[in-house]
Amino acid sequence: MASDTSKLTAFPAFVRTTGRKVAVFGNGAEAVAKTRLIANSDADIIVYADDPSHELLALMHELAVIHDAASFAPEQVDGAALVFAATGDAALDCAIVLAARARNIPANAVDQPDYCDFYTPALVNRAPVAIAIGTEGAGPVLAQMIRSKVDTLLSPALGPLARLAASYRDRVDDALPRGAVRRAFWKAFFTGEVSHEVEAGNEEAARRATDKLIEDGAGISGHVALVGAGPGAEDLLTLRAHRVLMEADVILHDALVPEKVISMGRRDAERMAVGKRKGCHSKSQNDINILLVKLAKEGKRVVRLKSGDPLVFGRAAEELDALRRAGVSYEIVPGVTSAIAAAADMALPITLRGVAHSVVFTTGHDLTGKTLPDWAKLALSGATIAVYMGRTVAASVARRLNEAGLGMATTVAVVENASRANRRMFHGALADLPLIETADELDGPVLVIIGDAVAAADLSRSEPLSVAFRATTEIAA
Ligand code: SAH
């Protein structure tokens, strides 16, 4: 089998040493080096040295480690967590390793890779933080070079800072909600005032700064993004919308946003459907406003995901007003609005040189009142009219526009489920538009486009309204 060079042949792990024996065998420089290395931990070190050098004697004295002057006997490794064979005598080192292996104790023989069950790393010690660098024996010099680089990168105060963090962990878990607030707290803890105080050696001041940071809830309040999900196709989501979704703690979405788009959000983000399809309001607009503010005040990053563009018939103004009044920060991520998606599906130029110089985004409900809206005049001068939420009021839309002077022969396009795999497209004249009002099979969102520019669309993609819906009306008539 070909060896995979991307794989380590030894896996780094940290061995527990508290209350455990680590045995070092040897009299000279190698034994000194291993003893020093192990002394970074709290292991009960025992050095077996029958003829220790002056240097080793001094070190054993300095570290107050146990010295055993007996010559090697296999039982000496009994009960050790780790064994180091550093006698300088290859055969004796092998015998020591075999004695350890016979007792299932991992051992390391200096300069004999075949007799090493583990390698010792170059170590940067900022207890409780440790960085161990291994090269699998390929380059002790390289390891030392990396070690000194890493050493200069890390503040000497990292250890005390990490110990302070450990002492606060339970309190922080109790005081701050999991997720964004807690993450922000630790980030501020390790980079802000607390860390500066620890570095200056002011432990008391560091504790005061930590207490304050907990009280302030890490000084962060949540954030709300009003995000346009686009008309439904996942790949019509903007890159920014995608990024914001990936950072969300909570996603509040409308019923019109397809599951596939919602599931592009961060996997462990909480998801809440806040309804609003015609006829089934699962939450009132006021409830939604209150919920947005509440979630943000808990420090969450909230994505309010709306179909199409959030500022087009999306009740965004009310949500923004609530956020502003509560002092919650917000941003708006635009989306492809359904009128534009519907036009694209039909290859319909919504502005057309010499024909249509303006576009009106309107709702069908605007045409059900008594007075004709101002824009009706624009329709007469050739504007393209995009009607949202127009299906159930299609007949009155057609009638009112006709009353305003728009000819019954004016072209119209109707797109259900724009941009989605199950989209349906129709075309016809203003006179045909009432047909869709009773067409119950149009149960997806429907967008209507009215105006002379529609005639320039690729009508081979759509069915005539009069053919698709005639049967229904005849029965209804
Ligand atoms: N903010 C949305 C509009 C919300 S109002 C946007 O910018 O598109 C809801 C209306 O949008 C529906 O009644 C329908 O008219 C229209 N709509 C939304 N998605 C649509 C789609 N995929 N196809 C056709 N119309 C759609």
> Is residue 418 predicted with pLDDT exceeding 60?
yes
Of 111-115, 217-221, 228-232, 254-258, the one with minimum mean pLDDT is 217-221
CA dist 173 and 124 (Å) reads 29
User: What does the block give as tokens for 61?
Assistant: 């004295």
CATH class in words for 223-336? alpha beta
Q: How far apart are CA 130 and CA 123, in angstroms?
A: 7
- The answer, yes or no, to whether residue 337 has pLDDT greater than 90, is yes
Instruction: Give per-residue pLDDT as tens, 42-55.
Output: 999 999 999 999 99
Is residue 232 lining ligand 1, measured as CB closer than 6 Å? yes
Beta-bridge partner residues of 48 = 25, 68
* Predicted local confidence at residue 440, as pLDDT: 87
The enclosing H or E element of 466 equals: helix 465-476
pLDDT tens digits along 137-185: 777 889 999 999 998 888 888 999 999 999 999 999 998 888 777 888 8
Pocket test for ligand 1, best of 306, 392, 447, 449 (most atoms within 8 A of CB): 447
- Comparing 156-160, 209-213, 325-329, which segment has the lowest mean pLDDT? 325-329
Q: Is 4 a catalytic residue?
A: no
Task: Return the structure tokens found at 175.
Answer: 């005081």
pLDDT band at residue 2 under the 50/70/90 scheme: low
Residues 386-406: tens digit of each pLDDT: 999 999 999 989 998 998 899
Out of 253, 278, 338, give the residue to mutate to test ligand 1, the one with the largest number of ligand atoms within 8 Å of its CB. 338
Joined together, the tokens standing for residue 460 give 């081979």
Q: Span 7-35, mean pLDDT?
A: 96
From the candidates 34, 276, 300, 306, which is the catalytic residue?
A: 276
User: Which of 21-35, 50-64, 96-110, 318-332 shows the lowest per-residue confidence on average (mean pLDDT)?
Assistant: 318-332
How distant is the alpha carbon of residue 237 from its chain centre? 17
> Ligand 1, atom 11: nearest CA belongs to which residue?
388
The answer to whether 111 and 87 are in contact (CB under 8 A) is no
**Would you say the CB of residue 415 lies under 6 angstroms from ligand 1?**
yes
What's the pLDDT score for residue 323? 93
From ligand 1's centre to the CA of 445, what distance in Å? 6
Contact between 45 and 37 under an 8 Å Cβ cutoff? The reply is no
Q: What is the CA radius of gyration of the chain?
A: 37
Distance CA 191, CA 196 (A): 8
pLDDT confidence of residue 379? 81
- Active site (annotated) includes residue 276: yes
pLDDT band at 198 (very low <50, low <70, confident <90, very high): very high
Nearest 5°: phi and psi at 412?
Answer: -135, 150
Considering only the top CATH level, what class is 339-476? alpha beta
pLDDT band at 223 (very low <50, low <70, confident <90, very high): confident
Tell how strand 80-85 and strand 21-25 pair up: parallel
Q: What is the mean pLDDT of residues 360-382?
A: 79
29 vs 27: CA distance, rounded Å: 7
306 Cα to the center of ligand 1, angstroms: 10
- In this structure, the residue with its CA closest to atom 9 of ligand 1 is 389
What values do phi and psi take at 302, rounded to 5?
A: -105, 135
3-state SS string for 60-96: HHHHCCEEECCCCCHHHHCCEEEEEECCCCHHHHHHH
Q: Which pLDDT score is estimated for 476? A: 46
* pLDDT score of 475 more than 60: no
pLDDT, mean over the chain: 91
The contacts found for 369-376 with CB under 8 angstroms, 24 or more apart, are 372/400, 372/403, 372/404, 376/400, 376/401, 376/404, 376/406
CATH match of 21-120 with 3.40.50.720? yes
- How far apart are the C-alpha atoms of 169 and 189, rounded to whole Å? 12
Q: Is the pLDDT of residue 276 over 80?
A: no
pLDDT at 463 over 80: yes
Q: Is the CB of 362 under 6 A from ligand 1?
A: no
Identify whether 128 is preceded by a cis peptide bond (ω within 30 of 0). yes
Distance separating alpha carbons of residues 378 and 474, to the nearest angstrom: 33
pLDDT at residue 39, rounded to an integer:
97
Residue range 242-265, pLDDT digits in tens:
989 998 999 999 988 999 999 999
Out of 93, 254, 309, 345, the active site residue is 254
Q: How far is CA 295 from CA 50, 145, 174, 290, 333, in A?
A: 70, 49, 19, 9, 19
More confident residue, 156 or 107: 107
Q: Is the pLDDT of residue 306 over 60?
A: yes
* Whole-prediction pTM: 0.60
Nearest to 340 by CA among 365, 312, 320, 366: 312
- Spatial separation of the C-alpha atoms in residues 418 and 426, rounded to whole Å: 12
Q: What percent of the chain has pLDDT over 90?
A: 72
Instruction: Give the three-class secondary structure for 334.
Output: coil
Ligand 1 centroid – CA 103 distance (Å): 73
pLDDT of residue 283: 83
CB atoms within 10 A of CB 184: 18
Residue-level pLDDT at 473: 47
Kindly tell me the number of DSSP H helices and DSSP E strands found in the chain. 16, 18
Own/partner pairs, 91-95, CB within 8 angstroms, 24+ separation: 92/25, 93/25
Please determine, for residue 378, whether its predicted confidence score (pLDDT) is greater than 90.
no
- pLDDT at position 191 is 79
Other CB atoms within a 10 A radius of the CB of residue 312 amount to 20
